[in-house]
Structures are given as structure tokens and as C-alpha cells.
Chains A and B, each alone.
Chain A
Amino acid sequence: MDDLYVMIKERYRKNLDMISFNEKIPGYFEYIFKQGPLIRRYNTRFNFLKVPVFSRKVELNDEFFNRFKSFYFDYIVPIKPYLKGIIQKGWRWSFLSVRDYNLIVFFSNFCDKFEDATILKTINHKTFVLFEDLFIKISKDSEVVSSLILSLMTSLKNNKNFDDELKITFEKLKAFFSDSMIFPSMLDMILSYNMSYYKKYFQYSDVCQINFDEIVTTEFYNCSKEVFDEIIYRIESLLKEIKMLETERDNLQWLKDISEVPFGKTPEKLILFYDKSKHSWDLDSDDFFKLFLNLIKDVLDRLDNLIYQDVDVVETTGGANKFKLLNAVQFDILYQKVKNDYLQTKSKYSSTVVSKVSLKEFIESGDVHQVFNEIHLSIFEKIPEILQGLSEISLKINKIIVTDEFIVKNSERNRYMITSPDEIKGKSPHQALYFYLEIFLQICGYFKEETVRKAVSDLPRIISNCEVSKKELNRIGDSNNLIVSKLRESNKT
């Protein structure tokens, strides 16, 4: 990951010009007649400088050093201890944008440079230039200051580290970066320092002419290798999570498409299947029990054929063959259970005189107790179990295809064509199983079988989780998707 870190760091490096007064020291006469008087007049406001009349030896006095250090201790020291934690964890927080995070990193660098500048007894020019550069870049744009303070406050509030004392500290920090809220301001001190160094008078406008579009990158976190590794670990987890959620989503979407009959629509496949056995869906629809029992009888007949009878096939090579599509060892118990429940229900239905409940009434009811009386309910008793059995058989058929436990292996799925029985003639064995799977699942879906209904009702949650993970990936990944592409690439190889 070292290479990736270097590549990303390089790609999103924000190259800003260094702010430096970088002036030439004026000649003696220019100093005596122009710059000296201006500096002296300026110094009457703050008295940070020793300004001799006939010499260019302008120096900072103790008042400057004391004030400079007090700025650091008053405005920066109360906040500094929190920065490390925010920088370590901030990329995880959805309320902190990449820009917010990078502003905090920028501010943290500024604090370090400020600390460096205060450690020494005298001011080291190289150290001071680094400090003033960052100060001017932050304070130049009031929006940057506001964003920075808001980001820091939000981070601390969300981590329950915020109290009234800190609120005052942030108000002070805002003042620290302004050029008018405290007197003298840090900008006044920077001007004083540069006057002493360059022996030349400076004013606010000399600083204010410098313009920057954006001081930090908004494309990726400007983070340490340690934080970068954590981000990569999270991105890898998200990629795995999204892949799994997408697979789950596709599976459930497939189940929904195959099993669900939209409200108010007719179940075309079921009707075709039902009418094949010399019944009439339209005529039988006025009696839910009759229609349902007929339908299950048709299903049991087909299952009987699939489990216990051979199908005739021809091979691509021209040869003929025979085999059973479903293995009795795997399906017999489930089949017998559905059959027993069917026979019990059929026997109850046949031996009881009840008023008819139409299929429409059943389908449109939210609760069977709304449409069925006590006698209906006693006939209905085993129907949920019949449907559950059918759903388990469907699941098992699905599983033997997916796990390649089917008598015809997936790699040979186009080798055979069924020639008998007629209902599946012309189909491959896989297509034949799929044909019945569709019918069984549509029965489960249409007649509100619980397992299928619950699985399909989970689809919105899976879609939503998938979106949440994708959103997080978009948030923490770099703007050009270089990291994700690189990780996907390395996972392939």
C-alpha cells in the first residue's frame, strides 16, 4: 500500500505558493527619510519595536515576544490537544467533508509551526516565515476561518467534548484570525516582525493583495500513512460489503420478479398451468379452496413425475437417454409432507359443507380471519404448511442448480433436450426445472407464503443498505476513484 499512498499523496498534493514579504532592505537615505518615520509612527500604536532615528537597526522588543507567546498559549493551546484525535478519526464522520477534514489538518500544521516559532528565545526567521505563511492563508478568507471553526466545533460536539469553556475558546480563535477583533491583532504582529526584518514599512494591503482559490484539496484526505491505511481497510471492507449486498439484492429481485404477481394483475403463468389440467381458473375462482386444492394436486402430479418417473432426452450427439430430474432421496420427505397436508385438507374440504370464499376475496384480504369463518379456518389450517413445503421444495431445486448437485452438471446444461413428457418437451433439463420452479414460486408468492413473502419484503432494506455503503464509499474514496480502481485491480490479480 506504500506505493498507493505515495501515488495518491502526489496526485492530490495542493501546491500553494509560499507567502513571503521577501523585500529588499531599503538604502540608508530611503530609510532615514521615508521608511524610518513611517515605522516610528506605526510603532506608536503598539510599541513592539525599537526604532533608532539614525540607524537602520530596527529590533523587536520584549513586549513583542511576550505578546506573541501569549497568543499561542491563549488561543491555540486550549484547542491543540483535540486535533490529533479529530485527524485520526475525522474521515469516518459523515458530517465532516474532505475539505473540512483538510482544513483541520491545515490548521494543525499551522499550530505546529506556531509552536516551533514560540519555542526559541528569539525569533528564527525561517521558522517565522513558515508560521506567517499558514496564518495568512487561513485568515485571508473569512469563509475558511468560519468553516474551520464550525468543523472543529461540530467534531467536538459529536464526540461530546464540547462545553461552554470551549465555546469561548472558539470565539477567541475566530478573533485570533481576524485583523480587527483583538488589538493588536496577529496580523499587526506579523507586520511588526517584517518591519523589523526588512527595515521597511508594511500595511494590511501588502498582505491582502495575495489571493488563493482554495488552500486545501477537496479531492482526498490529506492524511498520514497510518490514517491512509485505515481508510484503505475501510474501503476494502465496503467493497466486499457492497458486492455481497448487490448479490443479495439481485437474488431477492429475481425472487420478487419470479414470485410476485402485482396487485390487481392476473397470475398468467398459474392460469396457463392450471387450465392445462382440464380445469378452468375463471370458473373455479369463485371457490378459493377448490381452486387451491386443484392447483396443488397439479403440482403434486408434476412433482411425482419429476421425482419418480424418467424423462426422455436426446443428446447433442444424437443418442437417446432417460433419467429422473429430481433425486428421491433429496425430495421424497418434502413431497410426502406436502401430499399428506394436501390430502388432509382435501378430505376436510370434501366432508364439510361451507359457503364459498372467492379467490379474489382471499387475495385482497390482509388477514384470513377477515374472510374465513371457523369452518373455513379449520380447512385452511394446513394450507400455510402446504405452501411452506412448496417453498422448501423450490429452495431445494434452486440450491441443487446453484451448487451443481443436479443430475446434469451446469457445464453440460446444453447437452440434453427433453423429448417427453410433453409439458417440458424441447427444454433442456435445467430449463425444465426452472419452468417448474417459476410455477411453484409464483404459487408461493400469489398465495402469500411466509418465507417467500418475508424474503421479498427484505429487498428495500437490502437496497437501502447497499446505497448507504455506496454513499460512504463515495465519501471516503478519492474524487477520481483511483483507490477503488487500484484495489479492484489488485483483487483481480
Chain B
Amino acid sequence: MDENNEGFRKLNFINDFKKVIVVENIQFVATSLTKVLKEAGFFVFHSSTGKSALYLTQNYAPDVVILSEKLPDMTGFHLIRELKSINECIKVIYISSKDDFKYKQESVLAGSDYYLLKPFERSTIINAVNEVLHGGLK
């Protein structure tokens, strides 16, 4: 019953290490997103192309990928499909400026877990990441 006994102790916090890849080729947007996410405690990678995002995904098993619709080497929807084929458990947040129902529907069909309309507040992106990590679909 001694609190300082030598037995095994439950480790609670092992799974709070969460990795996020930000796929964005506009530097100032990427820098700002990365900063906000780091401050919120996430381990953040930045990738400016779809190809490097796929490389990072294969090697570092991210929990969440945040990607922009316009990438220099592939479309956002194409990247989502590729990401999900590597690991279907990866959560994808798709950032777009199109407030169009059909377009949103297409992103969901491609496999995105959250559709985020530009422009957005700092807190919105953190909430979005937390929501997808807890299984929400928006």
C-alpha cells in the first residue's frame, strides 16, 4: 500500500504525441499554420509538395494531414486518395476557399475528414485537428 512501492505504474500519457503534416506551398500560410499547431503541442512537419507529403507519411506515420487544394505537383483530392491508400487511419483536413456544396461533397468522397473554409481563425484549426483525432467527420 506504500505509494512509493517498487511495482509497475500505469503510464497514461504515451499516446499524446501527435504528428501533423501541413501540406501548403504558400510559404507564409505554411509558416503561420505550423506555428499555431506547434504552440498547441503537436509535432509538425511542413511539406510544400504532394510528393514530399507522401514520403513523410510513409516514413513517419502522421496522425493528421492538413492540405491545401492547390499543390504544384498534384491536386488535393489526388493526394488525399494516395494518403488514405498508405494508411486509411490518417485523418485529413482539407483547406479550401470554395464554399460550394458539391465541391465539399467531392472532398469527402476523396476521403477528407474535415473541410475547412478559408479564411479561418487560429482556434478553428486547433479545434479541427482535435475533432478529427477524436473521430469526428465534418
Q: Which residues of chain A have a CB within 8 Å of any CB of chain B?
A: 241, 244-245, 247-248, 250-255, 316, 394-395, 398-399, 401-402, 410, 413-414, 417, 425-428, 430-431, 434, 437, 455
Chain A: CB-nearest residue to B39 = A316
B19 x A417 contact (CB < 8 A):
yes
**With A254-B11, A414-B17 in contact, do A244 and B60 touch (Cβ < 8 Å)?**
no
**A410 interface neighbour in B1, B13, B15, Cβ under 8 Å:** B13
B17 x A244 contact (CB < 8 A):
no
B19 x A251 contact (CB < 8 A):
no
**With A244-B3, A248-B1, A414-B43 in contact, do A428 and B17 touch (Cβ < 8 Å)?**
yes
Chain A: CB-nearest residue to B15 = A431
A265 CB, nearest partner CB in chain B, Å: 22
A440 CB, nearest partner CB in chain B, Å: 11
A259 CB, nearest partner CB in chain B, Å: 9
Residues of A within 8 A of B43 (CB): 316, 414, 417, 428
Interface string of B36-78 (1 = CB under 8 A from A): 0010011110000000000000011100000000000000000
A402 x B17 contact (CB < 8 A):
no
Tell me whether chain B's interface is mostly helix, strand or loop, or mixed: loop
Residues of B within 8 A of A431 (CB): 14-15, 17
User: Is B102 engaged at the interface, CB distance under 8 Å to the other chain?
Assistant: no
Residues of A within 8 A of B38 (CB): 316
In the bound assembly, the distance between CA atoms of A427 and B11 in angstroms comes to 16
A46 CB, nearest partner CB in chain B, Å: 65
* Interface size of B as a range: 20 to 34
In the bound assembly, the distance between CA atoms of A427 and B61 in angstroms comes to 9
In the bound assembly, the distance between CA atoms of A280 and B82 in angstroms comes to 32
In the bound assembly, the distance between CA atoms of A428 and B10 in angstroms comes to 18
In the bound assembly, the distance between CA atoms of A126 and B44 in angstroms comes to 84
Residues of A within 8 A of B6 (CB): 395, 399
A417 x B60 contact (CB < 8 A):
yes
A398 x B17 contact (CB < 8 A):
no
Interface string of B9-34 (1 = CB under 8 A from A): 11101111111000000000000000
B13 x A455 contact (CB < 8 A):
no
Chain B: CB-nearest residue to A249 = B10
User: Is B7 engaged at the interface, CB distance under 8 Å to the other chain?
Assistant: yes
**B9 interface neighbour in A251, A413, A427, Cβ under 8 Å:** A251
Residues of A within 8 A of B9 (CB): 251, 398-399, 402
A-B residue pairs in contact (CB < 8 Å), sample of 9 = A251-B7, A398-B11, A401-B11, A410-B13, A414-B17, A417-B60, A426-B60, A431-B15, A455-B7
Instruction: With a 10 A CB-CB cut-off, give which of B3, B11, B16, B61 has the most chain A CB atoms.
Output: B11
In the bound assembly, the distance between CA atoms of A421 and B17 in angstroms comes to 18
Residues of A within 8 A of B18 (CB): 414
In the bound assembly, the distance between CA atoms of A251 and B9 in angstroms comes to 5
User: Is B8 engaged at the interface, CB distance under 8 Å to the other chain?
Assistant: yes
**A430 interface neighbour in B17, B19, B41, Cβ under 8 Å:** B17
In the bound assembly, the distance between CA atoms of A455 and B6 in angstroms comes to 11
Residues of B within 8 A of A427 (CB): 17
Chain A: CB-nearest residue to B42 = A414
A316 x B44 contact (CB < 8 A):
yes
Chain B: CB-nearest residue to A415 = B43
Residues of B within 8 A of A437 (CB): 11
In the bound assembly, the distance between CA atoms of A251 and B42 in angstroms comes to 28
Chain A: CB-nearest residue to B38 = A316
B16 x A414 contact (CB < 8 A):
yes
A455 x B11 contact (CB < 8 A):
no
Chain B: CB-nearest residue to A255 = B8
Residues of B within 8 A of A253 (CB): 10
**With A316-B38, A413-B17, A414-B43 in contact, do A426 and B59 touch (Cβ < 8 Å)?**
yes
In the bound assembly, the distance between CA atoms of A254 and B24 in angstroms comes to 41
B90 CB, nearest partner CB in chain A, Å: 12
In the bound assembly, the distance between CA atoms of A252 and B61 in angstroms comes to 31
Instruction: With a 10 A CB-CB cut-off, give which of B1, B8, B14, B41 has the most chain A CB atoms.
Output: B8
12 more A-B contacts (CB under 8 A) besides A414-B18, A417-B43? Answer: A248-B7, A254-B10, A255-B8, A398-B8, A399-B6, A399-B9, A402-B9, A414-B43, A426-B61, A428-B17, A430-B17, A455-B8
B111 CB, nearest partner CB in chain A, Å: 21
Residues of A within 8 A of B1 (CB): 241, 244-245, 248
**With A414-B43, A430-B17 in contact, do A250 and B10 touch (Cβ < 8 Å)?**
yes
In the bound assembly, the distance between CA atoms of A100 and B30 in angstroms comes to 72
B44 CB, nearest partner CB in chain A, Å: 7
Instruction: With a 10 A CB-CB cut-off, give which of B14, B15, B16, B44 has the most chain A CB atoms.
Output: B14
Residues of A within 8 A of B11 (CB): 254, 398, 401-402, 434, 437
In the bound assembly, the distance between CA atoms of A437 and B11 in angstroms comes to 11
Chain A: CB-nearest residue to B56 = A426
B55 CB, nearest partner CB in chain A, Å: 12
Chain A: CB-nearest residue to B46 = A318
Residues of A within 8 A of B61 (CB): 426
**A251 interface neighbour in B10, B13, B15, B41, Cβ under 8 Å:** B10
B13 x A413 contact (CB < 8 A):
yes
In the bound assembly, the distance between CA atoms of A395 and B11 in angstroms comes to 12
Chain A: CB-nearest residue to B8 = A255
B69 CB, nearest partner CB in chain A, Å: 26
Chain B: CB-nearest residue to A465 = B1
A238 CB, nearest partner CB in chain B, Å: 13
B8 x A414 contact (CB < 8 A):
no
Residues of A within 8 A of B3 (CB): 244, 247
A414 x B60 contact (CB < 8 A):
no
Residues of B within 8 A of A401 (CB): 11
In the bound assembly, the distance between CA atoms of A394 and B42 in angstroms comes to 28
Residues of A within 8 A of B16 (CB): 413-414
